[in-house]
């Protein structure tokens, strides 16, 4: 079920968190709200959930205007960055909460909770309290709790932000698989572009209370609408007005007319890929990304003089 | 070595200031056996004072618990004009001498007070009667639940409540199922302090009660009455009764508190 947001404005005192934001989230999609901190992405998600009231604009969930509706009437599942676990309830009771509020029969609740605990791989933990779980387990409980009430849309506010890198990666892949199984319309807020690119099929990039661009991860990467998008969705070199991705820099040992001279300042080995940090004769610093094989073929080492050329570069006309 | 010294100093301080005086009261009470103090507390006036004390606590404690939790929720979760003033006024009974509180009630509800003529006309007696004593006790024991609950409410934050609302809980369901369980030990501790304060109240109640033995004497007032009329056995016995009530309150809390929560 789709989400439509129209001309939302939200101010906190003198600070404008959202300025006339419009966005459509198609049914069954997994959309990421990506942006630096303070860009308004969490506020937008909270406006959709009804946890914040917008100063202007409207919110539609499944074609129904819910702008004035209380959170409990919107049919959303919300997952919080810091879990918001009910500390005095067991894992079972946490997941069952929404069903108990709806006065579902006991047997049905037991079946549904059991099913969800299997889904989030917490079968053996039903009787534990949140304090006895790891961060990753708590967040999976949070997801199961949100899914228990069959929400029309699932909203995740930096769900993996408080977890360590390895668990974050695991849960990310797991969330993607979960979405492929359930097809619940999902919006995930993140400040991590890698996370957005990996997990989402659509990304809305936000900056200073506005949406800069909406598209597939590939569109944002390959056809960025402006400088901000270009530099936010991946590493970038700046050469005058031109923006060059590190993997679009070609290195040669001999000049060929189109190349410019540069010195290898440092080689950073990142496994399969190697980042070559270069400084040109005019003082411009560039960072090129090449494979291990290329480094071996070119016999690159620190202090060496090489000849560089941008295979592809992007300029934006203001 | 230093650690033992600190521990010794701490225990010594407690012993000299608390344990020895209270122990002495117990010893004095029972030094000639159980019979004399038993008869002393079984007199009509002593029994009346005991039940009056309990009755006042049974009204004042629930009233201050409900009001205290509501006020704490308003202070922490709501924004309203004059909140800072409300927050400060809650502490007034702690800062103000109980005698002043008693006098204030007298000025308001007494025969010559603001509401005096009105109450007189309708045959309602507040001062020198039970309603005045309850009012005075509620007044002096008001801050405890609020002061225990406010910091805990701040600490738990609003995320759990927001999660409950997204899961379909109404404001009332969220309060009952999430907020109140989360602050239950703060409430329990506040109730214990409130109860102790109610049982021990002397100053304000003394002013508004009129101190009619067998009618408007609470246990604390009774202790002083007996002491002043040289019935030391009666005074000591009633004191022990007061102390036992206080201990029972503390024990009750520890019994109700599940083991896993004691850290």
Residues 6 or more apart whose Cβ sits within 8 Å of residue A309: A249, A250, A252, A256, A258, A259, A260
Q: Does residue A277 share a domain with residue A219?
A: no
Whole-Å CA distances, A317 to A104, A241, A314 = 59, 9, 10
What pLDDT band is residue A218 in, cutting at 50, 70 and 90? very high
**A206, A230, A254 — which closes off a domain?**
A230
Name the strands in the sheet holding A237-239, side by side, starting at the edge strand that comes first in the sequence: A237-239, A242-244, A314-315
A28 to chain B, any CB pair closer than 8 A? The answer is no
The pLDDT mean for chain A works out to 92
Q: Does residue A170 share a domain with residue A39?
A: yes
pLDDT of residue B111: 80
Residues 6 or more apart whose Cβ sits within 8 Å of residue A270: none
In chain B, residues with a C-beta closer than 8 Å to the C-beta of A101 are: 167-169, 173, 177
Q: Does residue A259 share a domain with residue A138?
A: no
Nearest-angstrom CA–CA distance, A84 and B178: 11
- pLDDT tens digits, one per residue of A100-156: 999 999 999 999 999 999 988 899 999 999 999 999 999 999 999 999 999 999 999
Q: How many domains does chain A have?
A: 2
Residues 6 or more apart whose Cβ sits within 8 Å of residue B140: B93, B98, B101, B197, B201, B203, B204
Q: Does residue A113 share a domain with residue A213?
A: yes
pTM of the model: 0.83
Q: Does residue A252 share a domain with residue A111?
A: no
Asked whether the beta carbons of B217 and B242 are under 8 A apart, the reply is no
Give the residue extent of every domain in chain B.
1-31, 34-261
Residues of chain B whose pLDDT is less than 50?
260-263
Q: Does residue A255 share a domain with residue A134?
A: no
Q: Coil, helix or strand for B114?
A: coil
pLDDT of residue B110: 84
The pLDDT mean for chain B works out to 89
Q: Does residue A240 share a domain with residue A125?
A: no
Q: Does residue A105 share a domain with residue A61?
A: yes
Q: Which of residues 128-187 of B touch A (CB under 8 A)?
A: 159-160, 162-170, 173, 177-178, 181-182, 184
Q: Does residue A274 share a domain with residue A170?
A: no
B79, B155, B156, B166: best to mutate for the A interface, most A CBs within 10 A: B166
Q: What residue in A sits closest to B168 (Cα-Cα)?
A: A72
Q: Which range has the top average pLDDT, A7-16, A236-245, A253-262?
A: A7-16
**For chain B, how many residues are written?**
263
Q: Which domain holds residue A224?
A: 3-230
**A199, A230, A261 — which closes off a domain?**
A230
A146 to chain B, any CB pair closer than 8 A? The answer is yes
Q: Which of residues 180-199 of B touch A (CB under 8 A)?
A: 181-182, 184
**A188, A210, A230 — which closes off a domain?**
A230
Q: Does residue A225 share a domain with residue A268?
A: no
pLDDT of residue B212: 80
Nearest-angstrom CA–CA distance, A223 and B26: 87
Q: Does residue A246 share a domain with residue A212?
A: no
| CATH number of the domain enclosing A286 | 2.40.50.100
Residue A254 scores a pLDDT above 90: no
The ipTM of this complex is: 0.86
Q: What percent of chain A has pLDDT over 90?
A: 73
| CATH assignment of B34-261, among 1.10.3720.10, 2.30.40.10, 3.30.1490.190, 3.20.20.80 | 1.10.3720.10
- pLDDT tens digits, one per residue of A221-240: 999 999 999 999 989 998 88
Q: Does residue A268 share a domain with residue A215?
A: no
């Amino acid at each position: 079920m789709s989400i439509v947001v129209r001309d939302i404005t939200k101010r906190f005192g003198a600070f404008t968190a959202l300025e006339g934001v419009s966005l459509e989230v198609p049914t069954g999609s997994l959309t990421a709200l990506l942006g630096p901190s303070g860009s308004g992405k969490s506020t937008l998600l909270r406006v959709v959930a009804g946890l914040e009231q917008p100063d202007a604009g409207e919110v539609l969930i499944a074609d129904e205007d819910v702008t004035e509706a209380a959170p409990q009437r919107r049919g959303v599942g919300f997952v919080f960055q810091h879990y918001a676990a009910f500390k005095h309830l067991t894992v079972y009771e946490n997941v069952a909460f929404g069903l108990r509020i709806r006065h579902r029969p006991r047997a049905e609740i037991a079946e549904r909770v059991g099913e969800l605990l299997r889904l989030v791989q917490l079968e053996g933990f039903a009787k534990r309290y949140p304090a006895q779980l790891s961060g990753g387990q708590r967040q999976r409980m949070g997801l199961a709790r949100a899914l228990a009430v069959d929400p029309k849309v699932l909203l995740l506010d930096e769900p993996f932000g408080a977890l360590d890198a390895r668990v974050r990666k695991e849960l990310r892949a797991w969330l993607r698989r979960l979405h492929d199984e359930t097809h619940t319309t999902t919006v995930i807020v993140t400040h991590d572009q890698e996370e957005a690119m990996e997990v989402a099929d659509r990304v809305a990039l936000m900056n200073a209370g506005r949406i800069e661009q909406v598209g597939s991860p590939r569109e944002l990467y390959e056809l960025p609408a402006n400088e901000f998008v270009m530099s936010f969705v991946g590493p970038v070199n700046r050469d005058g007005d031109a923006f060059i991705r590190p993997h679009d820099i070609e290195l040669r040992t001999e000049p060929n007319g189109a190349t410019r001279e540069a010195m290898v300042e440092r080689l950073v080995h990142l496994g399969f890929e190697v980042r070559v940090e270069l400084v040109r004769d005019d003082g411009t610093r560039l960072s090129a990304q090449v494979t291990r094989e290329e480094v071996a073929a070119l016999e690159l080492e620190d202090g060496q003089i090489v000849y560089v050329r941008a295979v592809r570069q992007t300029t934006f006309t203001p | 070595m230093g650690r033992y010294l600190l521990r010794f100093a701490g225990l010594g301080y407690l012993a000299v200031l608390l344990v020895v005086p209270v122990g002495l009261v117990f010893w004095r009470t029972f030094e000639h056996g159980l019979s004399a103090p038993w008869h002393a507390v079984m007199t009509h006036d002593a029994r009346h004072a005991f039940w009056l004390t309990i009755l006042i606590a049974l009204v004042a404690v629930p009233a201050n618990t409900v009001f205290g939790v509501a006020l704490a929720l308003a202070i922490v979760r709501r924004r309203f004009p004059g909140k800072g003033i409300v927050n400060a006024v809650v502490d007034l009974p702690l800062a103000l001498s109980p005698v002043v509180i008693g006098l204030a009630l007298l000025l308001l509800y007494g025969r010559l007070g603001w509401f005096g003529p009105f109450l007189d006309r309708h045959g309602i007696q507040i001062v020198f009667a039970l309603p005045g004593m309850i009012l005075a006790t509620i007044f002096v024991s008001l801050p405890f639940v609020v002061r225990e609950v406010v910091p805990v409410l701040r600490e738990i934050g609003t995320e759990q409540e927001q999660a409950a609302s997204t899961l379909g809980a109404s404001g009332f369901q969220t309060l009952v199922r999430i907020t109140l369980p989360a602050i239950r030990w703060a409430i329990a501790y506040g109730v214990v302090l409130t109860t102790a304060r109610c049982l021990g109240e002397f100053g304000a109640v003394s002013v508004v009660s009129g101190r009619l033995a067998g009618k408007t004497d609470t246990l604390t007032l009774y202790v002083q009455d007996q002491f002043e009329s040289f019935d030391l056995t009666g005074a000591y016995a009633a004191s022990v009764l007061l102390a036992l009530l206080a201990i029972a309150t503390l024990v009750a809390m520890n019994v109700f508190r599940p083991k896993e929560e004691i850290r």
